[in-house]
A and B are shown apart, each in its own frame.
Chain A
Amino acid sequence: MGRTAPTYRQALEERMKRWDEFARLLTTPEEREAFELVRTGARRYAAQATYVGSPDLLESILLSVLTDLAARIRSAPGEPRARP
């Protein structure tokens, strides 16, 4: 197909391959699990990041990960409930 630029999802997966190296030096299961959460967070808001269409991939990834974390914090026990 005639796409010139990779989609955000493709660019994200490509960038996250680099993160594998980062993960290799994590030493505890807790850290590895937390790292997987970050990965999931990066993927969760792909639709929204695509919509922004920012040329800055990292900006989109950060927004996605931070939104995911903030949503988790808000829905954690003891915190005000996030909207569904």
Chain B
Amino acid sequence: MAPFPDGWLLDVTESDDGRSVVLWVKSRRTGRVRRTAVEYRPPFRVTGPRTELAPLARYLGDRPEVETVTLGSGRPSLFDRRPRPMLTVTPARLPARRALARAVDAFGGYTAFTLYDVDLGAPQLYHLTHGLYPFAPVVGAGAALVATEPPETIDYATPPLRVARLEVRIAGERRGRIPPPDGRIGAVRLGDVTLEGPDEADLLRALVGELAASDPDVLLTQGGDSFDLPWLYRRAAACGIAPGEFALGRERAGFRPTRPARTFESYGRVLHRDATFPLPGRFHIDRENSFLYDDAEIAGLVDAARLSRLSLQTVVRQSPGTCFTAMEMAHALALGAHVPWKKNRPEGFRRGDRLVAADRGGVIFLPPVGVHDRVDEFDFASLYPHIMVRKNLSAETLECRCCPRTPIRAPGLGYRSCVRRVGLIPRTLAPLLARRLAYKAALRQPGISPEEASRLTRRVRMLKWILVTAFGYQGYRNARFGRIECHEAINAYARDLLASLIPVAERSGYAVLHGIVDSLWVRPADPLRPPDPEAFARAVTERFDLPLGYEGRYRWIVFLPAVTHGLGVPNRYYGLYEDGEFKLRGIGGRRHDTTGLVRRFESEVLSLFRRARDAAGVHALLPRALARADLIAARVAAGDWPVDELLVRHRVGQDPDAFVTFTDSVAALRQLAEAGARRGAGESVRFVLLDRESRSFRHRVRVAELLTGEERYDREAYLDLLARDTETLLAPLGVERTALLERWGVGPAPPRGPYRSPETAAQSTLDGAPRPGPRAPA
């Protein structure tokens, strides 16, 4: 029986004295959070030829930023079979770690040495070397703090976190508008309390007082990274309040962000992350700057923080891949290995035909366009992670030297898997898979409370994200423990699985309709004798040793065609399960850029189609669906559709100055820039189309931030949008956009001439002119 904890370790942060970390422990009895600083300067390791390590040790021994250097031996890499000479370097100050590592790398001409454990944060290493983790129940204090249960515990008590919403209001401005650069803060909401007052300095001091009194653990904001926090700090500085007096965390910190804003590309999309402001001892969750919060909420994020040993503050802002990598690091250190700084395992050269054969994804069929009924859907649960575990796929276990006769070989590629030791990836994944199954099983328990159910659901979703990224990170060039051949092997196993599944399904009495990587849509070959789907799922699970689940039977499902060539699109469909639930993929309502208008039309059509019992029923409802479209079109054409339902959202794909053509987004960006709000690549703009033909950025669109509600929108543009969406949904029933537009009295759009802006002069002065300051939340 574990000892009763004194409290919970909320977070470990780096102290600004440069020599220690700060432990933040929440007392179980009082609910207050105590700060304890513990001296901690973790070393990093260097391997290389002994002849090179000796001069390096002498060189480092003379440097003031080095505390100690010791030459020993070790097996820092998972690939190491015997110990190698290894230098252990302890920097004098924590912030000097990286600079020192770079100096070592340079000393070796960037080739002689391999460095380990360089870029793990001191807090992360402190957790790992002291058996601690975020939100661990703990006894003791300071350096003697001990967790009472391991991080992998599935059934744990979450610490009672105090969560308070924080919202800043600019005097005389509505939220969501572009605030004037010197906008005074008129009110701040913190939890249930709203602070107001004519004197801004008093108001800001009152906020600090209120924070101390209510002492929340989590500040929850909507756009806090881009607006609320920078604005608070900016105004505090303007009022002459010193950083020492104005701490939003549990200790004072500077007003500058710890992480600047950045723009990056992921899966072909340009994304933007706002700057992060430090709040030592307290967590700030910005719903707009968090990819995971909406799915995982605090319950899921706490789970991920425990397993990854990353601060909640980090988990909430990073991708699930970062969590997964941190979990791998934890397992690597537990195995006695260290974490390589720079991945030094380039892809090997190989013959072109081998590359073509290896570099393939999963099987993705083109579904038959049309309305189908009595369709059964089956999905493998976490297929890729299961394959990695079952086939022992990990960088160091693939093509190992110890198992030339292994029976585990990737189909078609022949990559061998080790049978003598379990790889790092399977070690990391297996407990996650078990955990997810345990949570799902707990969810099925009768009498589970709604709070518990919600908590478990969030954890399941968080784990799902982490498991999904685990696969992608095998092929990512910078992934620390990734290896492209693993990525290829996983795909090869998955392709082979789906191919093997087709004859099995046919023998069971099914005809295969559609398949995507790990999902299968089938239909009884003989409608009068449908197979038992649960029995089929069980048989497949047993036969392939991979969990196939029965998703359900569709009353009907519509596979949609591509506009360009008319064949089916793999992931664009909508269907109604027998339990009355819809599954929608790739249609307007699922997309971020959909207008309220299109959403409204889709939900009307779907609620109409809900009555259909089968494919014939859907066909019979077509005239009524078209009548709905006509009604909506008539209102749009009359000009009285509310403009806030016509907002189009666009993610800006490149730097605003880099656009060559004058698009709606460019017009929106110029309008925002003119109003003093500059947006960069990866950020979004939202606007209403006023006149698509216009060559003026002022008249073409109106951005959401400047919307009055009285705008006259471009009717033809919105009728065209509506027609496009109607065609998307109803094309398999024979509906065409051009016919719809004709029916609604809209002619084809006239061809556009070359772009000549009437404001060319004004634009040149706009280039780079507006100050890059905090922005209003979108």
Contacts and interface: CB of A to CB of B under 8 A. Distances in A.
Given A40-B567, A46-B366, A47-B363, A55 B352 contact: yes
Interface stretch (B125-133, B317-325, B328-336, B353-361): B353-361
Interface residues of A, number: 19
Contact of A50 (B267, B352, B363, B525): B363
Nearest to B365: A47
Contact of A40 (B363, B475, B484, B566): B566
Contacts of B412: 53
B356 A53 contact: yes
Contacts of B356: 5, 53-55
B511 interface: yes
B45 interface: no
A5 B350 CA distance: 12
Interface string B380-396: 00000000000000000
A44 B567 contact: yes
B355 A2 contact: no
A24 interface: no
Contact of A43 (B355, B525, B567): B567
A14 to B, nearest CB: 14
A18 interface: no
A41 B427 CA distance: 45
Interface in B335-357: 347, 352-353, 355-357
Nearest to A16: B565
A3 interface: yes
A50 B525 CA distance: 26
Contacts of A84: 511, 525
A7 B566 contact: no
B352 A53 contact: no
A40 to B, nearest CB: 6
Contacts of B264: none
A43 B565 contact: yes
A5 B475 CA distance: 14
Contacts of B59: none
Given A51-B499, A55-B353, A5 B359 contact: yes
Contacts of A54: 356
A53 B357 contact: yes
B476 interface: yes
A2 B347 CA distance: 11
Contacts of B347: 4
Contacts of A51: 360, 363, 495, 499
A2 to B, nearest CB: 5
Most-contacted residue by chain A among B356, B361, B477 (CB, 10 A):
B356
Contacts of A46: 364, 366
Interface in A62-78: none
A41 to B, nearest CB: 10
A33 to B, nearest CB: 13
Contact of A7 (B352, B360, B475, B525): B360
A20 B611 CA distance: 45
B353 A40 contact: no
B565 A40 contact: yes
B244 interface: no
Contacts of B567: 40, 43-44
Interface in A1-38: 1-5, 7-8
Contacts of A40: 565-567
A10 B476 CA distance: 21
B268 interface: yes
Most-contacted residue by chain A among B475, B511, B565, B566 (CB, 10 A):
B565
Nearest to B516: A47
Contacts of A53: 356-357, 360, 412
Nearest to A8: B360
Please give me the 4 A-B residue pairs with the lowest Cβ-Cβ distance, nearest first. Answer: A55-B353, A53-B357, A5-B359, A47-B365
Given A43-B366, A55-B356, 13 more contacts: A2-B476, A2-B477, A5-B352, A5-B355, A7-B361, A43-B565, A44-B567, A46-B364, A47-B366, A50-B364, A51-B363, A51-B499, A53-B356
30 contacts: A1-B267, A1-B475, A2-B475, A2-B476, A2-B484, A4-B347, A5-B356, A5-B359, A39-B565, A40-B567, A43-B366, A43-B565, A43-B567, A44-B567, A46-B364, A46-B366, A47-B363, A47-B365, A47-B515, A50-B360, A51-B360, A51-B363, A51-B495, A51-B499, A53-B360, A53-B412, A55-B353, A55-B357, A84-B511, A84-B525
